Amino acid sequence: MRRRTLALAVAAVVAGAGTVVAAASAATAATACAVVYTPNSWSTGFTADVKVTNLGAAVSAWTVSWTFAGDQKVTSAWNATVSQSGSAVTATNVAWNGSLAAGASTSFGFQGTYSGTNATPTAFAFNGVACGPDATPTTTPPTTAPTTPPTTAPTTPPTTAPTTPPTTPPTTPPAQNCVATAVCDGFESQTGTTPAGTWAVTYPDCSGAGTAAIDRTVAHSGSTSLRINGAEGYCNHVFVRSTQILGTTSNVWYVRYWVRHTTALPTAHVAAVALADANDSGKDLRFGGQNGALQFNRASDDATLPEQSPAGVALSAPLPVNTWNCVEFKVDGRDGTMQTWLNGTSVPGLLEDGVPTHDIDSQWLNRTWRPKLTDLKLGWESYGSGADTLWYDDVAVSAMRNGC
């Protein structure tokens, strides 16, 4: 068998972001690949998004492997089955994202822990073929090479599959991060600088310094996002409201959005998302933060989830700044239960399972609550101190978990 070699196409680390891009093109018949690894780290933990592009012949299954340079440990994963032996990590496709045509991409993600430094891996392999220089396949390569092998990674951004698995995995990958039953909006149809169409700027009770605009300089996907300049003080609040995006379901709502913001959540109570509840005199179910961590707040009785004890706050999570975060939450109007995910991981302090748990939901369950949500508002409301700039993108609402 002739020995097949790979020529390095791209190997670059984006300064400051921790993103590494590694690619290999087929010199003869070896499968070609490109991998983009984007970490998001905090003191002892991190998440990572891994995008893989098949630059060779179509495959029906894939495995991506790499080796950590430090003591990183994978604790959970989505959109792939990830296993680790020592410092060696292997990610294998799940049922719905194994087939990759030539030039097609898919994404998966995982959460992990580390101590010291969280060094970004620089060498990856796709189905046994290294995405790096002077590499040889570790498995038998395809017998037919592309007519004109690519020499660089594709310039067109890959279509990103969800980075968290839906509750019931679909048989085919969801299109544009949007399951078939969802109503989705990435603000790409907006033509002006002021939110329009199904979205309207609103200032509950009073208005001041808070502003909302369509932004074409920052986006999670595509080229457009919703920007909120959130000022400090209640009457400086601003929201952008849609009454149509909740229309696919009547009693169970899975809300997903991507958010990027500039300032850590303050000690004072703030709200970034609000949903009117027709079964609670039209009062809002509010989602934001307090004591530096994410929290739900029920406007009708000011109940919080979790409770604002030190133990309760510790069971929630901060919202990382200056990076895109995927926020998902479920509200079940049939029994009042709720669940929240941050970047694919369920947040224990934001889980209301109907059974009172001290420091989490015993206050929330002090009365029967069966919500009927009628609108979705994205913005910023400060009840004390706290100003922030936020960008929202890729909003989805459905009757099943959409994923990231």
Q: 321: how many CB neighbours lie within 10 A of its CB?
A: 13
At a CB cut-off of 8 Å and minimum separation 6, what does 38 contact? 17, 18, 19, 48, 49, 50, 51
In the chain, where the domains are located: 6-130, 183-398
pLDDT of residue 152: 38
CATH of 183-398, one of 3.30.200.20, 1.10.10.60, 2.60.120.200, 3.40.50.261: 2.60.120.200
Nearest to 123 by CA among 134, 112, 114, 113: 134
Query: Which is more confident, 145 or 353?
Result: 353
Q: What is the pTM of this model?
A: 0.59
Chain segment 274-319, per-residue pLDDT in tens: 999 999 999 999 999 999 999 999 999 999 999 999 999 999 999 9
Beta bridge partners of 329: 255, 340
pLDDT of residue 274: 97
Chain segment 129-155, per-residue pLDDT in tens: 888 533 333 333 333 333 333 333 333
pLDDT of residue 355: 93
Chain segment 98-141, per-residue pLDDT in tens: 888 888 888 888 878 898 889 999 899 989 888 853 333 333 33
Q: Give me the amino acid identity at 283.
A: K
Mean pLDDT, range 60-89, rounded to an integer: 89
Mean pLDDT, range 253-276, rounded to an integer: 96
pLDDT of residue 6: 31
pLDDT of residue 97: 84
Mean pLDDT, range 156-172, rounded to an integer: 37
CATH number of the domain located at residue range(s) 6-130 in this protein = 2.60.40.290
Chain segment 201-216, per-residue pLDDT in tens: 999 888 889 999 999 9
CB 283 within 8 A of CB 298: yes
Percent of the chain with pLDDT over 90: 56
Average pLDDT over the chain reads: 81
Chain segment 23-71, per-residue pLDDT in tens: 554 333 344 788 989 887 766 678 788 988 888 889 999 999 999 998 9
